[in-house]
Amino acid sequence: MVAAALAAAAMVGMSSPPTKTLDLELLRIVDSRGKARAILGMGDEGPALSLLDEKGRLRANLGIERDGPSLDLLDTAEAPRAQLTVDGKQDPHLDFTDAKGVQVSLRP
């Protein structure tokens, strides 16, 4: 009887239309071991998507800051190595940083 009730509940759940809107402040996507690998959420200045490696280290971050969008690519020590931003004047900036902290910037 219980099995029949569960099967009926499953069938009803499969026949309902998909949800078109999901409102939340944070979405955490985990791997098969339950470790967070992607986090989509709202920061103080706007939305951000963070991607983490298998050890939980931040490796990439895409977000909207006060002046504009930014994309950061980080090494295994979570130090920024490449950053692409658009500033308040709507000018793009591309910055590269090596392991010694030496930075090379490309600006129009």
Residues 28-54 pLDDT 10s: 999 999 999 999 999 888 999 999 999
In 3D, which of 40, 49, 74 has the Cα closest to residue 59? 74
Instruction: Report the pLDDT value the prediction gives residue 100, as an integer from 0 to 100.
Output: 92
How far is it, in rounded angstroms, from Cα 49 to Cα 42?
9
Helix residue ranges per DSSP H, the chain:
2-15
Question: Given the structure tokens 């010694």, which residue do they identify?
Answer: 100
Instruction: Report the pLDDT value the prediction gives residue 28, as an integer from 0 to 100.
Output: 97
**Residue 2 scores a pLDDT above 70:** no
Instruction: Report the pLDDT value the prediction gives residue 49, as an integer from 0 to 100.
Output: 98
Mean pLDDT on 84-89: 94
Give the pTM: 0.77
| Distance, C-alpha 54 to centroid of its chain | 15
Write b or e for each residue in 5-15: b if 16 or more Cβ atoms lie within 10 A of its Cβ, otherwise e: eeeeeeeeeee
